Structure 1
Amino acid sequence: MTTTSSAAFGALRAVPEALDTLGAEALSEVARSATVAQNLAAATRLQAAHLLVEAMGRLDREAHGPDPCRQPGDSRPADSRPAYARLDPADRARDHLTAAMSLTGWHAARLVTAGVQIHTRLPLLRKAVERGLLPEQLAIDTACRLAEVPDQIIAAVESEIVGALARDLDGGHRPSRTALDTAVDAARERHDPRAAEDAVGAAVEQRTVRFRPGRDGMTSMWATLPSGAAEKLRRRIEAAARAASEAGHPRTRDQLRADALCALGDPNTNDIGTALHDAENATDPADRADHVGRADSGADCSGHADPADPAAAGSARPRPGASWGTEQPIRISIIDSIAQGLPNRVQFVNGAYSSFDWLCEELLSGGEAKVRFELIDPQPGVLDKPDAVLKYFITPALAERIRLRDGTCRHPGCTVDAHDCEIDHIIAFDHLRPEMGGPTAEWNLICLCRKHHREKTFGHCAYKPGPLGELTIITETGHEHRTTPHGPLAQARDRILDHRWRQHLDRLIADDGHLTNPPGSERNSCHGSIRLSGA
């Protein structure tokens, strides 16, 4: 493999720099050579991922003894650590690759899974990858899908899938991920129908709905649902959008589908069509979003209210917090930037923001909703009190502040929302002598998801804090990875610093290009100003 890879890269280096001088045939060959070299490099990455997992396992065994599942005849003592204190070598390899290759945790996990599968139980796929026949993403997708196939039938399924891939790629066709999934499912069902049924049951356990807020006031949502339930939902949304379109609504079908989906989530509406009509009558786009969907919580799947439900008995007043889908007080955090010359914004932990106009509209539509406003001072350490820093307990206000600052888990590549993370001391709190280190202060606290919290506690990496929430991780391999917070509070601080810097430059550099020193001083002497070159 090394010889082939070197030859491919050598062929690329021999290509003239001026590609625009080459003909179509030569350009096609250059592109093909580059693709083969890229595929071979992918084979090296996959092998490195596999070997990294083995290296992490060796490091762990050297530090704590062999795994309890050691081979018979192994004379070394079993690992005496409890299960929660043991770290999976594959997880540790994933975290290393996340930072080393600037990948998301999801992509790094798939790279590790594919590397291990290809080099331990998929010999045919390994040969194809090492020959440079498969693009990296296709190889990873194939290996991850075949990882779900039981060992009893993996040889037959792999032979069928790899053969089909080779034929398709040889003919210039690259199967999509959907086509690959369909082929694997079909092969699995042919070789073991019962296993296919078990796979369906296991897939149901993976159902999920996720939201990703955007900086434009919009949020992306994606879901993995059982096909039957998803089809019912699709039909209801499609029927409402079709009816609204036929009634003459000028909005696009995509917009109508989105409005119908919003209507399903609003407990104040008992008919999607009425909600779409109300939204059409609203003149302001923000108004439309507020009026779309007034679905009552007692409505059944057809959109009709249940007469036995007191909340759906025709009451004109919505429940407290109804438009927000909660009975709890609505908590609004506002980062105070007015003193710095910048406007305040309604902020949320996950990084989304909105305007006060939107907030007022939502609160008015919420009826008796209880609202708790919290004005957040962006100055670092304002909640660090001398007596509190020597206590292990983290107050709710300080915990919320850390979540607003970090936004997500602070481990490189991890995107777990801060609301789902634990607050951890970077420098461990000293319970016997608190004054000796590990203070409960803003600079020494970070958000870590449960998995990365365990890795910090039981792993071998060193963690160093920074004054504004910076985190430096020094791995056992000697690599350093530095992350900075990206939550709303951190973003507000960045805007404040940028605003101050611009104000400083405005005082430092005059309109005619003179640099005054000190800033803001009069230009009465030859030492008071400097003419910038080119000004």
Structure 2
Amino acid sequence: MFDTGVLTVSASEGSTAALVARHARIACEQFLEIDLVTDLFVMRCDEDARAGRNEAHHGEFAHVEIAGLLGLTETAAQRMIGLGCDLRWRLHQVRAAFASGRIDLAKAHAFSEALANVSDDALADIERRLLDGAERVSTTRLKDRARRLIARLDPEGARERRRRAVADRDVRVVARDDAMTQVDGLLPAEGGQILAGRLRAMSFDVCARDPRTYPQRRADALVALAAGHTHLECRCGLDNCTARADLGSAGTSGVTVQVHVGVNASTLLGLDDAPGYLSGYGPIDADLARELAADATWKQVLTLPDADRAASDTEAGSVLGIGRGHPSPRTSPVDVASRTRKRLQEKAYRPNAQLVEIVRTRDGACRFPNCGVQARACDLDHTIPFDHDDPARGGLTTETNLACLCRKHHRLKTLGYWAVRQIGRGRLEWSDPTGRITVTEPQGMFADGSSGEDLRTGVHGELLARLTDSRALAKLNYSAAELDLDYLLESRIPPRQRRRRGYTPRHSDTAATTHTAVAAAEDPPF
């Protein structure tokens, strides 16, 4: 009689449309509230000005009045005033989007915080780019996009803000209810990644029968680390615990935490100030990238810019190869795919180490919409499922059929709640249960098109020209980091032009030796 399936879908679509519309109406009301708060603040400022008070104290008690009117804390009232002032006198494009309901209060605050110290010259451009598609992303992803844009379009401002922020670093231990303590702190980006990596490593010291959850183990690892221990004791209570046998007496003391940084060769040489990328954090200014690179282990990452990808008609992402065994950018991906070893790899379920590294470097994080789980903690999922009975018929193990998904979103996709397909250049098109489409872009350190320029074009062409000119080469004053550029560029510079007095190559055809850098870096993919 009636197709209940169609009725269910229609009802679902109606509910989701109503939800989106209601959220937009609430956002409009939120804007009006913030605007009225700003009106009240301006009114009190005018009153103070007429009373002849010092301009620095105009409106200083407005937040107390607003907090009383709305039943808020004074801190929350101050935050509302700060947002309202930003919207009225500085963030004009964000104001229009908020007033129309395109973005809500949480995203308006995210814009205000992310763009707080951007220079006036770059503000309008960054604001416009950041608003593009802002209604479809979370505040976390919005702030990540802001860091990328600011690092690229306002590099000098980003450098100065980072230097000032480092001076405010601090860690606080605050007593909370129920005999608990909250640890709150602000660390430099590289220091935070070192701490996160060490806690993660220690959390896996235990055996599979340890009763604690991963967050509980991580919290216990911080206490153990502060107490001077190098590993986390297992709590399985068994005499034959495998963790004790694996750890022995050394524990995790010999583990070096990996801090991965991506940066252009031209930036390392000082030819430009393009931002670097710290895995797990996001864009960093060029000075910090050069500082971290100075005493680290390097890997060459060969990237393919959009123009070359379009010319070669490839659907692959921007990372063409990692390490010395990568194919030349002149090599057609079709030619590479025809090699026997690659064909065999495509039909194997588990990707080889190089392909794993390429996909994780490309994606940077879980590829589900608005998920921020780091790629190294994700599964590698076959977008088109692998056919174990006949691999040639199922989804092949290739970069264009692999993506990083955290365990939760991997299961969600596998169980069919959401559908996904690869649409080229590392992009994924997700379809939710109502058919709503969301496209996610790779978030890795080389995902930004501006950082994927080939050495043959633009400023990188200038770099290659200068490095292949023996007279220019002789004038360069090489630092410790720049010496390693021989490793990156040795295939492009004739040997006679690479010889410099007193220099011995530090790299060989064997695997690069791991050593501790300023940021305890191990094998970052430069």
TM-score, normalising length from structure 1? Answer: 0.39
Of the two, which has the highest radius of gyration?
Answer: 1
TM-score, normalising length from structure 2? Answer: 0.39
Q: Higher relative CO (CA 8 A, sep ≥ 6), structure 1 or 2?
A: 2
